[in-house]
Amino acid sequence: MKVTHIFFDLDHTLWDFNKNAEETLSELYSELNLGDHLPSFLEFYSKYIEVNESLWDLYRNKGITKASLRTVRFTETFKYFNIDNPFLAEDLGNEYVLRGPYKSHLFPACHEVLSELKSKYNLHIITNGFEEVQAVKMATSNLTQYFNQIITSEKAGVTKPHSKIFEYALAASGAKASESIMIGDNFEVDCLGAENVGIAAVYFNPDKLIQNKKVSYEIAHLKELIDLF
């Protein structure tokens, strides 16, 4: 296929969300003396990942607001460990959101691949993350330079996988669906969402998860994007 525009998801696709989150939370675990209340960092962190993922599903389905997501993910995690301390959860939630975006771990070969692709294609971002947070992440990790359009769900008014955000992104970048590619780690949200509006998808699947459907392409490493289409 003839490709002119490539749309990337940001979190868990370029920006190594889990590595950055773990580093931030591990610093805060020490600074806020969370070890006085919790069994261990690893137990706290793995429960937090689980709680956060289910609250993000709820946020995408409009069951919770952005403001409450920030604190509730920690009150819910604390609740699992029988800790009832809303002030501590709020402190942690605020500090995490302030500090996390300044972490800059990216997936392997990210800069190398983006600079190669930028010489051939128009690159853009489509993210469900929050506008101000994503801007800090991209600036801190030196990613802003590669992208023409940075489409957030706040800007588009809906989150992926809704068709409207992909249509908004195509219009903003002057791209045709038939000449576009979407790359993301979330099979439903990024890949099926894009293919639903006629944009071919690349499923970024470093953990080699099994899906019961197929999309146009699948990769386990960003380097595979060079010469893929």
Given the complex with Mg ion, which of 12 and 47 has the nearer CB atom?
12
Q: Report the distance separating Cα 102 and Cα 95, nearest Å.
A: 12
Instruction: Report in angstroms how near the CB of residue 9 gets to Mg ion at its nearest.
Output: 4
Given the complex with Mg ion, which of 66 and 176 has the nearer CB atom?
66
| Residues found near Mg ion in the complex (CB under 5 A) | 9, 11-12, 185
Give me the residue whose beta carbon is nearest to Mg ion.
12
Instruction: Report in angstroms how near the CB of residue 14 gets to Mg ion at its nearest.
Output: 9
Point out which residues pair with 217 in neighbouring strands. 202
Task: Give the start-end residues of each E strand in the chain.
Answer: 5-8, 122-127, 149-152, 180-184, 200-204, 217-219
Contact 6, 180 (CB under 8 A): yes
Given the complex with Mg ion, which of 75 and 127 has the nearer CB atom?
127
Instruction: Report in angstroms how near the CB of residue 205 gets to Mg ion at its nearest.
Output: 12
Contact 147, 124 (CB under 8 A): yes
Instruction: Report in angstroms how near the CB of residue 186 gets to Mg ion at its nearest.
Output: 5
Given the complex with Mg ion, which of 68 and 205 has the nearer CB atom?
205
Given the complex with Mg ion, which of 16 and 185 has the nearer CB atom?
185
Contact 74, 93 (CB under 8 A): yes
Q: Report the distance separating Cα 119 and Cα 163, nearest Å.
A: 29
Instruction: Report in angstroms how near the CB of residue 30 gets to Mg ion at its nearest.
Output: 28
Q: Report the distance separating Cα 144 and Cα 96, nearest Å.
A: 22
